[in-house]
Structure 1
Amino acid sequence: MPTIALLGNPNTGKTTLFNELTDTYAYVGNWTGVTVDKKIGQLHGSPAKMVDLPGIYSLNPLTKDEAVATDYLLTANPNLILNVTNASQLKRNLLLTIELLESGTPVVLVLNMIDDLYQTPYLLDLPTLAQRLNCQIKTTNARNKQGVAALHQRLLTSLDQPASSTFQLTYPAAVEQALATAVTRLTPRYSATFSRWLAIQFMAQNQTIRDYAQQQHLQALTTAAADYDRQGFERQIFQTRQAFITTTLQAAQRLNPDVRANHLTQRIDEWVTHPLLGLPIFVGIFWLMFKLSFDWIGTPASNLLNTWLSGPITDWANHLLSTLGTLPFLQALLVDGILNGVGGVLTFVPQIFVLFACISILEDSGYMARAALVTDRLMQAFGLNGKSFIPLIIGFGCNVTGVMATRTIEQPKERLITILLSPFMSCSARLPIYSLFVAAFFSRHQAVIVLSLYFLGIVVALAMAKGYQLAFHLKATSDFIIELPQYHLPRVDLILRGTWDKGKGFVKKAGTVIFAGTVLVWLLSNLSWHGMTTDIDQSLAANLGQLLLPLFIPLGVRSWQVVSALITGVMAKETITASMIVLFHLSGQTALVATFSGLFTPLSAYSLLVFILLYIPCFSTLATIKAETGSTKWMLYSGISSFLVAYALATIIFQVGSLFV
């Protein structure tokens, strides 16, 4: 099956183009490392598969996700490379293009975001550029689907009539002499073109290539490594490429007589990236998100859904099961356990999807990259940088993907610290619990209370980061470089697809993990050590909750049902809501909110929310921490330390607050 590899710098619209050309949707964002693994789709109207590789600036990888691209070219031998560039930023983008052309694999160069080029003082003479690079060139604006059909046709033609790249730069004499010697010794094993590419990458100190040469026992290269480095071949190769890029652009650029520079992006950035105003604007934007999710749109929609599920649907289910003669035990399990429990969680879908829609809008507009830039100075003070901010923000959706996104961090200690901090980010699974409590105790300030929890998670993470910085003896952080794309009006279809991509995991959990957890909790609440029981206070769930209740009294919890529900939250945080509905024998969200008024005060409710925010990550997150660190020790440390931090902070809030209430 023919294969097309998509390669390009971050924020060139590569993944957007992938979505337009294939039958598979991949997550789209506006920051480096959004594609932390290769995504595979099938080219429309063709058996060819298309592989979307991580955004990289060069084939010389600095991070784990960048190494994916180089490893792929070494092992997969794609039939065609689709090199996606930003048409208005070619000086930076062409460095990777040269490396791809030198591999000998056929390359189609895509000048994407062509509309941005028209806003610059220069246009491009495409025939001259194609002649200098000796490859096919197509122009597109993937966001608006401009030029995508023509590119699709070109790809089909190129697959039918492949032509290897014959591009070759002439390097300084010493480098060329060394290349000739290496190619002669490698050609019995590889083609001449691939041998030259391997040798160039090896001389340029590409560590992935050097590891490959060691593994494959390529002594033609490994024995000369010290000599290559001593003569400064890496610097000479880079300078030659930069000189070629400069002369190529000078030959291909033409003055744009109709330029009308668009200063909108610059004017907006003067405010949103301002050293003093940037952070307050960032906080204000997130406050607006929570107002939309909890006050203006999300909560009213959730209330309507709850009324429908706890009223007509429950009545209909009871009537149907009674008509069918269902056993009382089974009817109670289906209605009181599964329907009320899972349904009680599903009522929060509108709030979660509104929040994810807001995040998708920020990503597609280009703001999220600015948020990372604005927070970089703050992160530096705590031993991290803006590169760590990106996985933490992703963790607002799901801590699992937040932990995985740390692959973009090249320094091992910084990456480990960010992994350990990720569970403190308030993932979407906690939103149903927040919604219940703010509706019960903070109805006039729902957005502010939820926003305070999100930022409390960030504050705790930064405080922990400072401690880790001292413990790990981090004296300086790595450099943070991020692309700032032009601002764009968000596309509705991308917002809808992005929202669904982020929110579908919550819906899937309702049918799997939450379903299983609800059944388990219902059984534990109806079983005792002596068999079935109708007295829930004698059930296994009650025994466990009552045993641990004294531990939670210092933070204001006085109900064993709440304690038992917190235990199920380790499986998945969403199950806490479903468990409480089942354990209190209620019909849905509204009844649970009413029950809270007799169990909590606003102070104890807030301290419990703080505990839920910070305590033990769910099983999936713990498993991901183990996989990403390769250590059971760090997984256990994450679970234990987060519980201790949550318990200590929640207790302090309740005990100190009690002195003033």
Structure 2
Amino acid sequence: MKKQLTVALAGNPNSGKTTLFNSLTGSKQYVGNWAGVTVEKKEGILNYKDFNINVIDLPGTYSLSPYSMEEIIARNFLIDEKPDVVINIVDASNIERNLYLSMQLLELDIPVVIALNMMDVAEKRGYLIDVYELSKKLGTKVIPIVASKNKGIDELLDAVVSIKNSKSNNFIKYNKKIEKKITEIKNIIECNDSKYDLRWLAIKILEQDDIIIKEFKDIFKEESAATISSYLDDESQTSIADGRYNYISNVLDDTIEKTKEQEKPLTDRIDDILTHRWLGLPIFALIMFSVFYFTFDLVGNKLLNIIDSFINNTLATSVNDMLITMGVSEWLNSLIVDGIIGGVGGILVFLPNIACLFLAISILEDSGYMARVAFIMDRSMRRIGLSGKAFIPMILGFGCNVPAVMGTRALDDENDRLVTVLINPFMSCSARLTVYTLFAGIFFPNNEKFIVFSLYILGILIAVIAALIFKKTLFKGESSPFIIELPPYKVPSLKGIIIHVWDRLKGFLINAGTLIFGASIILWFVLGFNLNGPAPIYNSLGAQVGKVIAPIFKPLGFGDWRSALSLLSGVVAKEVVISNMAIIYGLEDASKALSVSLLENFSQISAYAFMVFVLLYTPCIATIGVIKKETNSWKWTIFSLIYQFMVAWTVAMIVYQIGKIIL
């Protein structure tokens, strides 16, 4: 039987932690949330020699004196769960700053292995690191690796399994005054039952760690708390930080040799162009346009046509013929062919476009460019009262609004966070892309990429205008300063890209197999029956509901019950809009292709207005749920639903009415 081992990955943001996690676990990983919060939690399984290793990818942190939710989670896990081993990922090309966290980890009562990552980058910059001497100085194993190329992984795992029962034999000796305070605090608290290592706890108290201070006031006697409080001053905090940096400096003086004069790094030279004050935004727009060109013209539509032909011709015809041969009743045949294949298949044909979009965004994220986008947008965002940091969850919204709304937790200012939650659904998620792909392909076949690109830009503009109004009215106040570390540019690893794309596609496929499958069956029934029993489609329950709400959309150019019913069902999931249209028009006239039916019921301008409405109106149920969770308020949740519908209706109406005049 294999031995069980829990290993935590800890490191600064952009140190290559996630790349190492993907390298270790491959496809044997799953994503959830940390208990009680919506911060993403990644775990993976690794079998190595006689060990079954559970790998936890902790959120990136610069320190064990946490400020953000991610940093609190990382520290709490290390202290409360006490993993068997901590792998501390250190960026070898930025080693001095990364080692500050290492010093704090080594003070914990947990075995630590330091994975010295990006050794290839460090060597290119002229750094020669004596790994053996560094390991000796730090008192723990230091393993050089290049996670993106899977170099040094076996050596790292060997170190992990060999160190699991040992502890660091080294900790920093601070100046005499600090060491005296540490000893005295330890003597006071050693009789108390505490889950913390006493030396580490004493240091945290001297650093005036808010969480620890709050906790020790509850668990220590009054006289102990008063005595400890007398030791607290700013000088102690500064002395401890200085002690760590001095120790790091001395260690690096003895272990790093500079072999050549450092030239301006390639990353900085690229940034001179990509983050240029005037060129940054146009380059970002050009890159996003290239993404849509790739998603549609270059690759996506070619694959879409192949899958569309297979599902709607070969598969549907074959299944229909087989069911007729088997003597299956007409209603069951219709349910399977028109309902299930028509509904679910109508969504699966867009899989290539969705995959291409995810692939392009993953490459931009892993290369380091997306962090620059937040920096580029900071100046523009400040004009509307938000910081560039608010643009990060907005970018996430291009994939899915659910994690994007969750991502607002990283914002320090509560007003900024609420504003970003309220405007995030205007960012066009991948599910809406199915609607754009169908309509733009039918009504604008030669300009599909331009049309879809315009919708994404429109979503950003509407979000910006809404934010400006909110910051001038409901959420007045200055936004918090924006500080971001720009990671070095890197060539994304193929393995990492595949994992990222598959994780996102998996959600799309699960929706197709659950929500859309169920919605397709329900819609087939409401289109085939009314309260009196079986009925023709134009007298069905679904048609009656559609006819009631259809007048609302008449000024927008699509006041037809079919469109109205499809939009209503789109609140479940935006993909359902297309699957329901496929079912409705398929049941109405099976001899007509969906594209022909749409051309008969929409003009170019009403089709564009329809896409604008889909872009801006009420988000899906999952997003509504997470808005409620993040705002902790039904008031803001209901407000967001009403105002988003009103914005969508108004903008789509303006587009249609002006378009009618011009065209």
> Normalising TM by the smaller chain, what interval?
over 0.9
Instruction: From the superposition, tell whether residues 50 and 497 of structure 1 become closer, same or farther in structure 2 (CA, over 3 Å).
Output: closer
- In the alignment, the residues of structure 2 paired with residue 574 and residue 499 of structure 1 have an alpha-carbon distance, to the nearest angstrom, of 18
- In the alignment, the residues of structure 2 paired with residue 297 and residue 48 of structure 1 have an alpha-carbon distance, to the nearest angstrom, of 39
Give the secondary-structure state (helix, strand or coil) at the position aligned to 1:116: helix
Other-structure match for 1:32: none
User: Is the 2:399–2:430 contact (alpha carbons within 8 Å) kept by the matching residues of 1?
Assistant: yes
Q: Does 1:417 align with 2:419?
A: yes
Alpha-carbon shift at residue 225 of structure 1 (Å):
6.6
Other-structure match for 2:162: 157
- In the alignment, the residues of structure 2 paired with residue 320 and residue 617 of structure 1 have an alpha-carbon distance, to the nearest angstrom, of 39
Other-structure match for 1:595: 597
- In the alignment, the residues of structure 2 paired with residue 27 and residue 94 of structure 1 have an alpha-carbon distance, to the nearest angstrom, of 29
Aligned ranges 1:307-456 → 2 under 5 Å: 307-456=309-458
Range 14-23 or range 3-12, more displaced:
14-23
Alpha-carbon shift at residue 430 of structure 1 (Å):
0.5
Other-structure match for 2:533: 531
Alpha-carbon shift at residue 385 of structure 1 (Å):
2.1
Other-structure match for 1:66: 71
Give the secondary-structure state (helix, strand or coil) at the position aligned to 1:49: strand
Give the secondary-structure state (helix, strand or coil) at the position aligned to 1:38: strand
Range 582-591 or range 387-396, more displaced:
582-591
Using CA pairs under 8 Å that are at least 6 residues apart, name the structure with larger relative contact order, 1 or 2.
1
Equivalent residue in structure 1 for 2:85, among 74, 77, 80: 80
- In the alignment, the residues of structure 2 paired with residue 614 and residue 307 of structure 1 have an alpha-carbon distance, to the nearest angstrom, of 31
Matched to 2:45, the amino acid is Q
Instruction: From the superposition, tell whether residues 311 and 164 of structure 1 become closer, same or farther in structure 2 (CA, over 3 Å).
Output: same
Q: Does 1:465 align with 2:467?
A: yes
Alpha-carbon shift at residue 252 of structure 1 (Å):
2.1
Matched to 1:548, the amino acid is I
Q: Does 1:179 align with 2:190?
A: no
Instruction: From the superposition, tell whether residues 165 and 193 of structure 1 become closer, same or farther in structure 2 (CA, over 3 Å).
Output: farther
Instruction: From the superposition, tell whether residues 353 and 207 of structure 1 become closer, same or farther in structure 2 (CA, over 3 Å).
Output: same
Alpha-carbon shift at residue 25 of structure 1 (Å):
5.3
Gaps of 5+ in 1: 29-34
Equivalent residue in structure 1 for 2:96, among 81, 91, 95: 91
Other-structure match for 2:34: none
Matched to 2:555, the amino acid is P
Instruction: From the superposition, tell whether residues 96 and 474 of structure 1 become closer, same or farther in structure 2 (CA, over 3 Å).
Output: farther
Q: Compute the RMSD of aligned alpha carbons.
A: 2.3
Range 396-405 or range 226-235, more displaced:
226-235
Alpha-carbon shift at residue 307 of structure 1 (Å):
1.1
Give the secondary-structure state (helix, strand or coil) at the position aligned to 1:2: strand
User: Is the 2:316–2:337 contact (alpha carbons within 8 Å) kept by the matching residues of 1?
Assistant: yes
Alpha-carbon shift at residue 452 of structure 1 (Å):
1.0
User: Is the 2:552–2:559 contact (alpha carbons within 8 Å) kept by the matching residues of 1?
Assistant: no
Give the secondary-structure state (helix, strand or coil) at the position aligned to 2:593: helix
Other-structure match for 1:235: 238
Q: Does 1:22 align with 2:25?
A: yes
Aligned ranges 1:102-113 → 2 under 5 Å: 102-113=107-118
Alpha-carbon shift at residue 443 of structure 1 (Å):
1.3
- In the alignment, the residues of structure 2 paired with residue 585 and residue 302 of structure 1 have an alpha-carbon distance, to the nearest angstrom, of 20
Matched to 1:483, the amino acid is E
Range 118-127 or range 522-531, more displaced:
118-127
User: Is the 1:119–1:260 contact (alpha carbons within 8 Å) kept by the matching residues of 2?
Assistant: no
Alpha-carbon shift at residue 186 of structure 1 (Å):
2.0
Other-structure match for 2:129: 124
Instruction: From the superposition, tell whether residues 494 and 627 of structure 1 become closer, same or farther in structure 2 (CA, over 3 Å).
Output: same
Matched to 1:235, the amino acid is T
User: Is the 1:306–1:589 contact (alpha carbons within 8 Å) kept by the matching residues of 2?
Assistant: no
User: Is the 1:71–1:208 contact (alpha carbons within 8 Å) kept by the matching residues of 2?
Assistant: no
Q: Does 1:551 align with 2:556?
A: no
- In the alignment, the residues of structure 1 paired with residue 237 and residue 254 of structure 2 have an alpha-carbon distance, to the nearest angstrom, of 26
TM norm structure 1: 0.93
Matched to 2:417, the amino acid is R
- In the alignment, the residues of structure 2 paired with residue 370 and residue 143 of structure 1 have an alpha-carbon distance, to the nearest angstrom, of 21
- In the alignment, the residues of structure 2 paired with residue 588 and residue 522 of structure 1 have an alpha-carbon distance, to the nearest angstrom, of 14
- In the alignment, the residues of structure 2 paired with residue 608 and residue 218 of structure 1 have an alpha-carbon distance, to the nearest angstrom, of 67
Instruction: From the superposition, tell whether residues 247 and 218 of structure 1 become closer, same or farther in structure 2 (CA, over 3 Å).
Output: farther
Equivalent residue in structure 2 for 1:44, among 39, 47, 50: 47
- In the alignment, the residues of structure 2 paired with residue 220 and residue 183 of structure 1 have an alpha-carbon distance, to the nearest angstrom, of 15
Matched to 1:517, the amino acid is A
- In the alignment, the residues of structure 1 paired with residue 39 and residue 590 of structure 2 have an alpha-carbon distance, to the nearest angstrom, of 39
Instruction: From the superposition, tell whether residues 201 and 352 of structure 1 become closer, same or farther in structure 2 (CA, over 3 Å).
Output: same
Alpha-carbon shift at residue 133 of structure 1 (Å):
1.9
User: Is the 1:409–1:415 contact (alpha carbons within 8 Å) kept by the matching residues of 2?
Assistant: yes
Range 263-272 or range 459-468, more displaced:
263-272
Other-structure match for 1:31: none
- In the alignment, the residues of structure 1 paired with residue 255 and residue 558 of structure 2 have an alpha-carbon distance, to the nearest angstrom, of 71
Aligned ranges 1:601-620 → 2 under 5 Å: 601-620=603-622
Alpha-carbon shift at residue 191 of structure 1 (Å):
7.8
- In the alignment, the residues of structure 2 paired with residue 479 and residue 173 of structure 1 have an alpha-carbon distance, to the nearest angstrom, of 37
Give the secondary-structure state (helix, strand or coil) at the position aligned to 2:331: helix
User: Is the 1:382–1:466 contact (alpha carbons within 8 Å) kept by the matching residues of 2?
Assistant: yes
User: Is the 1:119–1:261 contact (alpha carbons within 8 Å) kept by the matching residues of 2?
Assistant: no
- In the alignment, the residues of structure 2 paired with residue 557 and residue 338 of structure 1 have an alpha-carbon distance, to the nearest angstrom, of 26
Deviations 1:56-92 (A, max 9, x none): 1111222212211111122111221111010011121
Alpha-carbon shift at residue 233 of structure 1 (Å):
2.4
% of aligned pairs identical? 38
Deviations 1:334-380 (A, max 9, x none): 11111111101100001110111111111222222222221222222
Give the secondary-structure state (helix, strand or coil) at the position aligned to 2:601: coil
Alpha-carbon shift at residue 469 of structure 1 (Å):
2.0
Alpha-carbon shift at residue 241 of structure 1 (Å):
1.9
- In the alignment, the residues of structure 1 paired with residue 211 and residue 651 of structure 2 have an alpha-carbon distance, to the nearest angstrom, of 45
Q: Does 1:114 align with 2:87?
A: no
Give the secondary-structure state (helix, strand or coil) at the position aligned to 2:52: coil
Alignment coverage as a number of residue pairs: 651
Equivalent residue in structure 1 for 2:477, among 467, 475, 478: 475
Deviations 1:373-416 (A, max 9, x none): 21222222222222222211111111111112222222222222
- In the alignment, the residues of structure 2 paired with residue 614 and residue 217 of structure 1 have an alpha-carbon distance, to the nearest angstrom, of 54
Give the secondary-structure state (helix, strand or coil) at the position aligned to 2:399: coil
Give the secondary-structure state (helix, strand or coil) at the position aligned to 1:444: coil
Alpha-carbon shift at residue 215 of structure 1 (Å):
4.9
Instruction: From the superposition, tell whether residues 187 and 313 of structure 1 become closer, same or farther in structure 2 (CA, over 3 Å).
Output: same
Alpha-carbon shift at residue 612 of structure 1 (Å):
0.5
Other-structure match for 2:297: 295
Alpha-carbon shift at residue 247 of structure 1 (Å):
2.5
- In the alignment, the residues of structure 1 paired with residue 617 and residue 227 of structure 2 have an alpha-carbon distance, to the nearest angstrom, of 54
Matched to 1:504, the amino acid is K
Give the secondary-structure state (helix, strand or coil) at the position aligned to 2:90: strand
Alpha-carbon shift at residue 489 of structure 1 (Å):
2.5
- In the alignment, the residues of structure 2 paired with residue 329 and residue 588 of structure 1 have an alpha-carbon distance, to the nearest angstrom, of 14
- In the alignment, the residues of structure 2 paired with residue 250 and residue 558 of structure 1 have an alpha-carbon distance, to the nearest angstrom, of 74
Aligned ranges 1:132-171 → 2 under 5 Å: 132-159=137-164, 162-171=165-174
- In the alignment, the residues of structure 2 paired with residue 74 and residue 359 of structure 1 have an alpha-carbon distance, to the nearest angstrom, of 35
Instruction: From the superposition, tell whether residues 126 and 503 of structure 1 become closer, same or farther in structure 2 (CA, over 3 Å).
Output: same
Matched to 2:169, the amino acid is T
Q: Does 1:576 align with 2:581?
A: no
Equivalent residue in structure 2 for 1:639, among 631, 641, 644: 641
Matched to 1:89, the amino acid is N
- In the alignment, the residues of structure 1 paired with residue 591 and residue 43 of structure 2 have an alpha-carbon distance, to the nearest angstrom, of 41
- In the alignment, the residues of structure 1 paired with residue 411 and residue 251 of structure 2 have an alpha-carbon distance, to the nearest angstrom, of 33
Instruction: From the superposition, tell whether residues 192 and 466 of structure 1 become closer, same or farther in structure 2 (CA, over 3 Å).
Output: closer
- In the alignment, the residues of structure 2 paired with residue 602 and residue 558 of structure 1 have an alpha-carbon distance, to the nearest angstrom, of 15
- In the alignment, the residues of structure 1 paired with residue 227 and residue 573 of structure 2 have an alpha-carbon distance, to the nearest angstrom, of 54
